[in-house]
């Protein structure tokens, strides 16, 4: 059977790159990009596009009926910083969007579902260094709360209905194609743009705020590898710890100075995103992903910076 893949939230930072990659693998016509906004990039001409609001279950059901997807990626979400500005909307979108997809996956017997979680599921009392797969989890953002609840729902639907749902806890993702979507880790993207435009950047996180990060190519490859892995090797049905590297704004600035000598990093006095970042892990233990589906990142900080500058300069 040929795979047909529906990507909900295709216009975002991850969706933009995931749709292109999936279309290279499965063929343009086999990957249906869905979003509430029309895409303003290559994807709109390359293959099918549908307007979908994941909260409108009838419209979503039409998509399941029309395409009979073999895989559904649900990427539509409000992230940590924007979620705090509208907590009820964040809960509604992040939670009911997932439940709509899981319900329809059960009704249509969709073979595989992908849903991203985040390092935001951890909180102030989680271990900060090499945060393990299983530990205290007390997220204090609505985004983190919705992701933790979502993980429990994913495992519940797997155990109760046998839905083959797979998930990764993304760290901060660094990319140059599409703008990031209102997260706490976005500084690590804005810094590259400002370094090129102004030679300086005002960071909303303090010099020593260390966070787990990953270059987008690794994230897309890892996601597809997880989806391709045999079901019997997937031992975690909540969400896998997943990481590429960890750095602080200061370490990143030092790396940027290798490309732009004289680059200056300033710090904003207070920003609510600092409190969010301070509650998150500094580094992640992703040994379970390494063991179950051979996860291995390819990008370190110097390779990431090189890719960002080469592509942004173009
Ligand atoms: C955010 O900062 O909210 C996201 C995330 C780590 O999930 N990038």
Structure tokens at 164: 């083959």
- Between the CA of 109 and the centroid of ligand 1 the distance, in Å, is 31
Beta strand 172-174 with 5-8 is unpaired
Q: Are residues 103 and 229 located together in one domain of the fold? A: yes
- Between the CA of 237 and the centroid of ligand 1 the distance, in Å, is 21
Each residue of 203-237: b (16+ CB within 10 Å) or e?
A: bbbbeebbbbbbbbbbbbbbbbebbebeeeebebb
Give me the pLDDT at residue 181, please.
86
Q: Which atom of ligand 1 is nearest to the CA of 180?
A: 8
Sign of the Cα torsion 12, 308, 297, 253 reads: negative
Mean pLDDT, range 9-24, rounded to an integer: 96
Nearest residue (by CA) to ligand 1, atom 7, is 118
CA atoms within 13 A on the CB side of 64: 24
Q: Are residues 74 and 159 located together in one domain of the fold? A: yes
From 292, 14, 11, 10, select the one nearest 171 (Cα to Cα): 14
SS (H, E, C) 94-110: HHHHHHHHHHHHHHHCC
Between 35-44, 104-113, 156-165, 204-213, the lowest mean confidence (pLDDT) is in 35-44
Q: Are residues 54 and 134 located together in one domain of the fold? A: yes
Q: Which residues does 55 contact at the CB level (< 8 Å), separation at least 6? A: 92, 93, 96, 97, 100
- Between the CA of 24 and the centroid of ligand 1 the distance, in Å, is 27
pLDDT confidence band for 42 (50 / 70 / 90): low
Q: Are residues 108 and 182 located together in one domain of the fold? A: no
Each residue of 167-181: pLDDT tens digit?
999 999 999 998 888
Catalytic residue status for 143:
yes
Each residue of 280-299: pLDDT tens digit?
999 999 999 999 999 999 99
Mutation pick for ligand 1 pocket among 183, 212, 273, 277 (CB with most ligand atoms within 8 Å): 183
Q: Could you give phi then psi for residue 55, rounded to 5 degrees?
A: -85, -10
Q: Which residues line ligand 1 (CB under 6 A)?
A: 79-80, 118-120, 143, 170, 172, 183-185
Nearest residue (by CA) to ligand 1, atom 4, is 183
Q: Are residues 17 and 124 located together in one domain of the fold? A: yes
Per the structure, the complete domain to which residue 297 belongs is given by 175-213+244-313
Sign of the Cα torsion 303, 27, 44, 9 reads: negative
> How far apart, in whole angstroms, are the C-alpha atoms of residue 185 and residue 201?
15
Q: Are residues 305 and 228 located together in one domain of the fold? A: no
- Between the CA of 1 and the centroid of ligand 1 the distance, in Å, is 35
**pTM tops 0.95, yes or no:** yes
Structure tokens at 231: 């079901």
Q: Are residues 122 and 180 located together in one domain of the fold? A: no
Q: Are residues 162 and 205 located together in one domain of the fold? A: no
> How far apart, in whole angstroms, are the C-alpha atoms of residue 24 and residue 73?
16
Give me the pLDDT at residue 179, please.
85
CATH of the domain at 185: 3.90.25.10
> How far apart, in whole angstroms, are the C-alpha atoms of residue 134 and residue 288?
11
Q: Are residues 160 and 34 located together in one domain of the fold? A: yes
Q: Are residues 262 and 166 located together in one domain of the fold? A: no
Q: Are residues 96 and 182 located together in one domain of the fold? A: no
Q: Which residues does 245 contact at the CB level (< 8 Å), separation at least 6? A: 212, 213, 214, 297, 299, 300, 301, 304
Helix or strand holding residue 200 (H, E): strand 200-203
Which of the residues 67, 73, 114, 143 is marked catalytic? Answer: 143
Q: Which atom of ligand 1 is nearest to the CA of 81?
A: 3
Give me the pLDDT at residue 41, please.
64
Count of domains observed in the chain: 2
- Between the CA of 172 and the centroid of ligand 1 the distance, in Å, is 5
Mean pLDDT, range 223-244, rounded to an integer: 98
Give me the pLDDT at residue 40, please.
73
- 171 within 8 A of 284, measured Cβ to Cβ: yes
Q: Are residues 271 and 124 located together in one domain of the fold? A: no
Which residue, of 241, 258, 292, is where some domain finishes? 241
Torsion of CA 130, 134, 139, 143, to 10 degrees: 90
Give me the pLDDT at residue 128, please.
98
- 167 within 8 A of 121, measured Cβ to Cβ: no
Who wins on pLDDT, 180 or 73? 73
């Amino acid at each position: 059977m040929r795979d047909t893949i529906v990507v909900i939230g295709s216009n975002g930072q991850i969706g933009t790159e995931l749709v292109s990659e999936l279309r290279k693998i499965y063929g343009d016509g086999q990957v249906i990009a869905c979003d509430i906004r029309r895409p303003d990039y290559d994807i709109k001409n390359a293959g099918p596009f549908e307007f979908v609001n994941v909260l409108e279950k009838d419209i979503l059901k039409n998509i399941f009926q029309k395409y009979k997807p073999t895989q559904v990626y649900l990427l539509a979400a409000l992230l940590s910083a924007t979620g705090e500005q509208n907590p009820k909307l964040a809960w509604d979108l992040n939670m009911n969007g997932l439940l709509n997809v899981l319900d329809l996956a059960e009704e249509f017997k969709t073979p595989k579902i992908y849903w991203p979680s985040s390092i935001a599921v951890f909180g102030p009392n989680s271990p900060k260094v090499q945060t393990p797969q299983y530990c205290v989890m007390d997220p204090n953002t609505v985004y983190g709360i919705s992701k933790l609840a979502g993980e429990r729902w994913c495992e519940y639907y797997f155990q109760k209905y046998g839905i083959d749902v797979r998930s990764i806890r993304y760290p901060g993702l660094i990319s140059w194609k599409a703008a990031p979507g209102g997260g706490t880790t976005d500084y690590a993207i804005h810094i590259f743009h400002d370094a090129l435009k102004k030679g300086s950047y005002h960071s909303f996180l303090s010099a020593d705020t260390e966070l787990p990060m990953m270059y987008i190519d690794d994230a897309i490859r890892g996601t597809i590898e997880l989806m391709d892995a045999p079901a019997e090797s997937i031992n975690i049905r909540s969400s896998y710890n997943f990481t590429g590297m960890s750095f602080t704004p200061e370490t990143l600035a030092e790396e940027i100075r290798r490309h732009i000598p004289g680059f200056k990093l300033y710090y904003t006095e207070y920003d609510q995103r600092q409190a969010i970042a301070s509650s998150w892990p500094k580094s992640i233990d992703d040994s379970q992903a390494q063991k179950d589906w051979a996860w291995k990142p390819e990008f370190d900080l110097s390779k990431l910076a090189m890719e960002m500058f080469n592509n942004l300069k173009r």
